[in-house]
Amino acid sequence: MADPEVFSSMGNKQERYDALVTVYSADLFRYALWLCRKREVAEDLVQETFLRAWKSLHSLRDDKAAKTWLFTILRRENARMYERYSPGFDDDYDFDSVAVEQEDEQVMQLRECMKMLADEYREPLMLQVVNGYSSKEIAGILDLTPGTVNTRVFRARKQLMSLMSQDDSFGQLEVVS
């Protein structure tokens, strides 16, 4: 991931925007996919997020906050999508179109377990594992305290390990109390 300082040196709005897209679009897509479950919707959500970011890029004064800022926009956009109408999606996640061929069976099983986690546990875990965010950064994005974030990722891992220990292929994993 690029050094946030790279943004500071860019006076040009277009360059700044392009840099944000390059650095954060993949992270945002992965997050969006777990959030809204559908590939097409996730991509639209990311595009909408960047459109909003473009329109208010002037308000991003501290480029070190860009990451949190973008994720916050994405979460708000996602919430806005459902504020007036809540569609009855089928529950399954749309991973077929993005899954790689010959994926490890254990990885697929773990992904199934991830689907069973409550959103409040899955979201911070995903931000930590995939995006490498600290508890403080996750707290900023999810509007929680770092302590709450730690508790939720702790419980998320415990639940995952518990779910997997019910599966023979993960029988070797120890569930910690």
Partner 1 sequence: MNCVEFRRHCLESGVTLDNETMAHQQSCDTCQRFYQQQSQFESLLGQALAVPVPDGLESRIKLRKSFAPRWQMRQLAIAAMLLLSVGVGLRAFYGPAPLDEALLAHALEAHSYRGAADQPMPLARVSQITNGLGAQVNNLGDIRYAGHCRIHGRMAVHMLVNTDMGRYTLFLMPDQPLEQRISEQVDGHQVVMFPSGKGSIGVVVPAGSDWVESTEAQVRDAVTWSI
Which positions touch partner 1 (CB under 8 A)?
Answer: 17-18, 21-22, 25-26, 29-30, 33-34, 38-41, 43-48, 50-51, 54-55, 77, 80-82, 84-85, 87-90, 95, 97-100, 104, 106-108, 110-111, 114, 125-126, 128-130, 135, 150, 153-154, 157-158, 160-161, 172-174, 176
Give yes or no for a contact between 37 and 94, defined as CB atoms under 8 angstroms apart: yes
Q: What is the dihedral of CA 101, 104, 106, 111, to 10 degrees?
A: -40
Q: Between 4 and 17, name the residue whose CB sits nearer to partner 1.
A: 17
Structure tokens at 107: 């990885």
How far is residue 34's CA from residue 48's CA, in Å, rounded to a whole number? 17
SS3 call for 5: helix
